Structure 1
Amino acid sequence: MPEGITAEGLLDNIMEQFADNVPKQKSVSFFEEDKSDSVSSQFNRLFGRQKTIHNIFGGGKSADVLLWRNKKISVGVLASATAIWILFEWLNYNFLSLVCFGLGLGMLAQFVWSNASGLMSRSQSRVPRLVLPQELFVNIATSVGHEVNKALGFLQDVAVGGNMKLFLGAVSSLWFAAIISSWCNFLTLVYIGFVAAHTFPVIYEKYDDQIDDFVYNALDHLRNNYKKLDTGVRSRIPKGQFKGKKHE
């Protein structure tokens, strides 16, 4: 550690930079809207956000689903994810058994279709072939590989970028994710993230002013408490003069 820099000073510097980079927002009550600042508040969102939530999520069909633009589709997607989680987590199905049951039901349906049509009519109807396009698997593999490489590149940039605040935030997030993953399995963790992605954005879009004001007040409160704690700890440390020996 360079001379003249202490651990308290480094932490104080990180908190000061974080607080200075967060734009200030005028306090707004949870039950009253400040109409005079309605125009300026649109450009002073959480952490300097200037885009709408819909544009942040890409502005496409996926954003429409996450923000419940079409409630039938959003409910269907969330219900499908819940059904899959119940099958694997509560009913203790595994992926292979579920695939075998699905294939067995599909074969049974085709068997009944082909034989019933032959009994009812002299000309047996042809069962349609189910063929999945190869481009589907190629696109899935390409998309997954692109996202994985993007995440790895981001972590590498954070590690070698020299931004201490961003580095500490990324390491803390990974540490927090490791603790959460130790409490539940991977499927439950993915399901929790899926439900959170389908609930938090639409709640924030509906109550963004109140949430922004609450976060800013919480950050200010945290900063003030940290300064009081830091001042109290430093005041109890006895100040002395240390005279070092001169080396010839």
Structure 2
Amino acid sequence: MPIYSDSDDQAPGPSTMSKMFGRNRPLHSMLGGRRVADILLWRNKTLSASILAGFSMIWFLFEVVELHFITVVCYMLMTFMLILLIWIQGASFFRWRPPTIYDIQVSESTAKHVLTRINKVLIKFYRISCGEDFVRFFVALAIIWLLSIFGSYSSALNVLYVVFLGLILIPVLYERYEREVSYIATQGKGDMKRLYKKLDTKFLSKIPRGPVKERKYK
């Protein structure tokens, strides 16, 4: 079992606060440092606001207006086709640059970056589930449990929309108020360590464990 000293329970003040999660790189670099990071941190406010407005409109049409999924998809495709038609046909008259297929297709680097991020999340999920850090294990368990309660009182689209709002708003708000968030998170981490010490002393350390046998592979 991990042993914590008294110094671990003392949360540092805001003046001596280190970066959250022990990171040394800027948040933009940790998010990939590319277009996805620019969107999440609102480096391109027009694009980020457009994506937020688009997803909000989809949520409004499904949850408030209660349109069917196929109907909404067809409306979106028809609107997109009309925009492309007007854009391409009016490009020569208004001296616009006509769109190409490369402007609407997803690049391989973007798809690879997204899959890499998903794999990293799966690896973290596996390590937490293995019990390498019981504090993170119980925190993750509590978060999933709270999400299950929220999901039982809401539709899947509402849950996805809340998750999207978190992805599009939390990074930029964290970057802006990093010192305050890190200070609160460090204090919470200290409280979790003290709670885990009590559980370890009263319960976990008293659980009998058998000898660990190493597997021999041929």
Q: Secondary structure at the match of 2:12?
A: coil
The separation in 2 between residues aligned to 1:219 and 1:167, in whole angstroms, is 13
Question: CA separation of 1:213/1:147 partners in 2, compared to 1, >3 Å: closer, same or farther?
Answer: closer
Q: Does 1:172 align with 2:142?
A: yes
Q: Which digits, 9 at most, give the CA deviation of each residue in 1:90-134, with x for residues without a partner?
A: 000121122344566789x6xxx9xxxxxxxxxxxxxxxxx989x
Partner in structure 2 of residue 87 of structure 1: 61
Q: Does 1:163 align with 2:132?
A: yes
Partner in structure 1 of residue 20 of structure 2: 46
What 5-or-longer segments of structure 2 have no aligned partner?
A: 87-99, 203-218
Checking the alignment, whether the CA contact within 8 Å between 1:15 and 1:223 is kept in structure 2 is no
Match of 1:187 among 142, 154, 157: 157
Question: CA separation of 1:64/1:105 partners in 2, compared to 1, >3 Å: closer, same or farther?
Answer: closer
Checking the alignment, whether the CA contact within 8 Å between 2:38 and 2:44 is kept in structure 1 is yes
The separation in 1 between residues aligned to 2:114 and 2:28, in whole angstroms, is 23
The separation in 1 between residues aligned to 2:119 and 2:33, in whole angstroms, is 23
Aligned-partner residue type, residue 206 of structure 1: R
Identity between Structure 1 and Structure 2 (%): 26
The separation in 1 between residues aligned to 2:178 and 2:164, in whole angstroms, is 21
Match of 2:46 among 72, 92, 107: 72
Partner in structure 2 of residue 215 of structure 1: 185
**Over aligned residues, Cα RMSD in angstroms?**
4.2
Checking the alignment, whether the CA contact within 8 Å between 2:11 and 2:190 is kept in structure 1 is no
Partner in structure 1 of residue 97 of structure 2: none
Aligned-partner residue type, residue 184 of structure 1: S
Question: CA separation of 1:142/1:52 partners in 2, compared to 1, >3 Å: closer, same or farther?
Answer: closer
Question: CA separation of 1:95/1:132 partners in 2, compared to 1, >3 Å: closer, same or farther?
Answer: farther
The separation in 1 between residues aligned to 2:39 and 2:80, in whole angstroms, is 30
Per the normalisation by structure 2, the TM-score is 0.62
Match of 1:206 among 159, 169, 176: 176
- Give the alignment of 1:232-243 within 5 angstroms: none
What 5-or-longer segments of structure 1 have no aligned partner?
A: 1-12, 29-33, 114-130, 235-248
The separation in 2 between residues aligned to 1:70 and 1:191, in whole angstroms, is 21
Number of aligned pairs? 183
Partner in structure 1 of residue 72 of structure 2: 98
The separation in 2 between residues aligned to 1:213 and 1:106, in whole angstroms, is 46
The separation in 1 between residues aligned to 2:61 and 2:48, in whole angstroms, is 20
Deviation at residue 172 of structure 1 after TM alignment: 3.1
Question: CA separation of 1:169/1:199 partners in 2, compared to 1, >3 Å: closer, same or farther?
Answer: same
Partner in structure 2 of residue 117 of structure 1: none
The separation in 1 between residues aligned to 2:71 and 2:187, in whole angstroms, is 51
Q: Does 1:26 align with 2:17?
A: no
Checking the alignment, whether the CA contact within 8 Å between 1:67 and 1:201 is kept in structure 2 is yes
Deviation at residue 177 of structure 1 after TM alignment: 2.3
Indicate the structure (1 or 2) with the bigger Cα radius of gyration: 1
Q: Which digits, 9 at most, give the CA deviation of each residue in 1:46-66, with x for residues without a partner?
A: 231212111111111111111
Checking the alignment, whether the CA contact within 8 Å between 2:11 and 2:187 is kept in structure 1 is no
Partner in structure 1 of residue 211 of structure 2: none
Aligned-partner residue type, residue 210 of structure 1: E
Question: CA separation of 1:104/1:220 partners in 2, compared to 1, >3 Å: closer, same or farther?
Answer: closer
